[in-house]
Amino acid sequence: MKVKEQLNSQLAALVPALEKFPWESKEHYAWFLAQTYYYVRHSTRLLAMASSRFDFDQNDQHYGFATHIAEETRHEMLAVNDLKALGFSIQDYPELPETRSWYHSQYYYVQNVDPAGLLGAVLALEGLSVFKGPWLHEKVCQHHGKAAGSFLKVHASEDLHHIEGACAGFDQLRAEQKPIALQSLEQSIWEYAAMLTGICERIQAKKIPLKPHAKAA
């Protein structure tokens, strides 16, 4: 099975959680933006770490990840600004454990398994952008206004070329690295879904107050 087919079949597992999420609810969307900030701020750090760990015979991956850092620079601030447009501050939102699990596993892949593992998370996020980004951006703008949709706008349109680069990067991996990247892809999809479900469950159970007294690290 080609990587794009693998990606499509994995992304299909995320559709129920995405469609069930009440994007029209300001409270839910605000929590989504806050969690987005908490994991996206690790993207450039993870890319830098993974880039440095590729061997000299994998310079395409080394330079590819390094180039990707520039493209992701300050993307976490898009989520913070969208949150501000909604009338909220990141300082009022704690990081959920599901969000931590999502990026913690990527540090594990890079540090303990193989830097190619991070490509699985890149494929998951870029695939998600292509697969659901435009639908999600339109929905959010409709309910919360364009000013609160800049993170989704950038990832639904301007970043579409990333998926092609990520698939080409996968094809160039060593045979033993490909299953690692695919395992990380699967894990990323499930953890992203857990993050969405976790937001819904806590709001429903009123286990997260509207303004928790937790400071952003």
Give the binding site for Fe ion (CB under 5 A): 72, 75
User: In whole angstroms, what is the distance from residue 38 CA to residue 117 CA?
Assistant: 20
Token pair recorded at residue 75: 């993307």
Query: Residue 159 CB, nearest distance to Fe ion (Å)?
Result: 6
Nearer to Fe ion, 140 or 208 (CB): 140
Query: Residue 72 CB, nearest distance to Fe ion (Å)?
Result: 5
| Helices and strands counted in the chain (H then E) | 11, 0
Residue 185 contacts residue 120 (beta carbons within 8 Å): yes
Nearer to Fe ion, 75 or 153 (CB): 75
Indicate the helix (H) or strand (E) that contains 65: helix 59-72
Q: Which residue is nearest to Fe ion (CB)?
A: 75
User: In whole angstroms, what is the distance from residue 31 CA to residue 209 CA?
Assistant: 11
Query: Residue 82 CB, nearest distance to Fe ion (Å)?
Result: 13
Query: Residue 182 CB, nearest distance to Fe ion (Å)?
Result: 22
User: In whole angstroms, what is the distance from residue 169 CA to residue 104 CA?
Assistant: 23
Nearer to Fe ion, 62 or 153 (CB): 153
- E-strand stretches of the chain: none
Token pair recorded at residue 85: 């447009």
Nearer to Fe ion, 75 or 132 (CB): 75
Token pair recorded at residue 148: 């609160």
Query: Residue 162 CB, nearest distance to Fe ion (Å)?
Result: 8
Query: Residue 111 CB, nearest distance to Fe ion (Å)?
Result: 22
Nearer to Fe ion, 42 or 75 (CB): 75
Nearer to Fe ion, 41 or 75 (CB): 75
Cα(first)–Cα(last) distance of the chain, in Å?
A: 41
